Amino acid sequence: MLTAFHNGRILTDTGFAEDRAVLVRDGRILSLPPASDAEVRAADRKVDLGGQMLVPGFIDTQVNGGGGVLFNEQPTVEAIRAIGAAHRRFGTTGFLPTLITDDLDRVGLAMRAADQAVREVPGVLGIHVEGPFLNQQRKGIHDASKFRTLDERAFQLLTSAPNGRTLVTLAPELTTPAMIGRLAAAGIIVSAGHTDGTYEQISEAIEWGLTGFTHLFNAMSQLGSRRPGAVGAALDHDGPWCGIIVDGHHVAPSSLRIALKAKGADKLMLVTDAMPSVGAATKSFLLQGRKISVVDGVCVDEKGVMAGADLDMAGAVRNSVEMLGVDLPTAIRMASHVPASFLGLGHELGRIAPGYRADLVQMTDGVEVTDSWISGDNTK
């Protein structure tokens, strides 16, 4: 079946095009012909966009929960499906369910569930294991009693999922460059986070295969005049990508604008760090026995410690335009093709271009999601 998306503003690599259509067959984009093209008129199915925007689907590499479900509490395929459905309403067509620090047995359950979900749940791209190989000095909301060394047992577990991408956030100073190299050689995406590492330690990790920074600025050694820290290493090195939480609470917009000038938009990816409150009527939940509540838009425990975010990807895009001063196409790229590239999927996800998977989002001028498609299907 040939599907034609027409009568909309299509976001291409050069900006929005009003005179184009998108032809999709077997879940892939065939071409972007003129809207008046005969093939558009002859399509088996036509999707009238009603003048709204059609953009690449958003990809979120850090999703702890959504729709009232927390992955740590329910490391199952069913939970992943529910989380994905909650975020789909906000334009997320690809995501990594994220497990924060827990026992290795729990990590194993989560990895097996995510590996199965990659095959069964539309939009699941793998898993993000954030801890337990973290630094107590930068623990944030993580349970430091569960922190541990990245040993051979942990290595075998982290490299055990054959399907999708596995992203691991760790503190580089608490493992060895050789271990980081082994992980990278095994196909694991290694990111620095919850780290008190020095500039030199982080830089060495980059040389050995570290390619990401988890929620830049948060829970890491800061940029100082004589001690550049993890933030300094992130901004100074061109290669790594940095996840940023643009909610106006986690990081001052001015700091993010500085990072944008240092890294460029193609190395900053929007993440939500979303908790179960996203897409749910109830704005409180339990995290490993601790009550977390959304207070003035911020997820905090009873001591006021931040615990993830009450943020969706459409909101992150809107905030990036308002707070970072980027134009809408750039903000959308930071939510789509940039994270796709970080995951090594930039050749098939995150663009509206021939050959790419038809993961698409229809939205209003106010960046409110009207509809979405994964592999050209909006019924999944």
- DSSP line for 7-62: SSEEEETTEEESSB-EEEETTEEEE--BTT-HHHHT-SEEEE-TT-EEEEPEEEEE
Distance CA 53, CA 368 (A): 10
Local structure of 108: helix, strand or coil: helix
- Nearest by Cα to 265 from 338, 349, 214, 346: 338
Residue 241: both structure tokens together? 């990508």
Q: Is 13 a catalytic residue?
A: no
Q: Is 52 in contact with 8 (CB distance < 8 Å)?
A: yes
Residue 334: how many CB atoms within 10 A of its CB? 26
Say which amino acid occupies 267. K
Residues 6+ apart with CB under 8 A from 213: 191, 192, 193, 220, 230, 234, 240, 241, 242, 243
Q: Which of 60, 102, 196, 273 is catalytic?
A: 273
Which residue bears the tokens 């994964």? 374
Report the helix count and the strand count for the chain, using DSSP H and E. Answer: 11, 22
The sheet with strand 298-300 has its strands ordered as 284-287, 290-295, 298-300
Query: Rounded to 5 degrees, what angle do the CA atoms 24, 25, 31 make?
Result: 45
Helices (H), the chain: 38-41, 77-88, 104-120, 152-158, 177-185, 199-207, 229-236, 253-263, 313-319, 328-334, 337-342
| Catalytic sites, residue numbers | 273
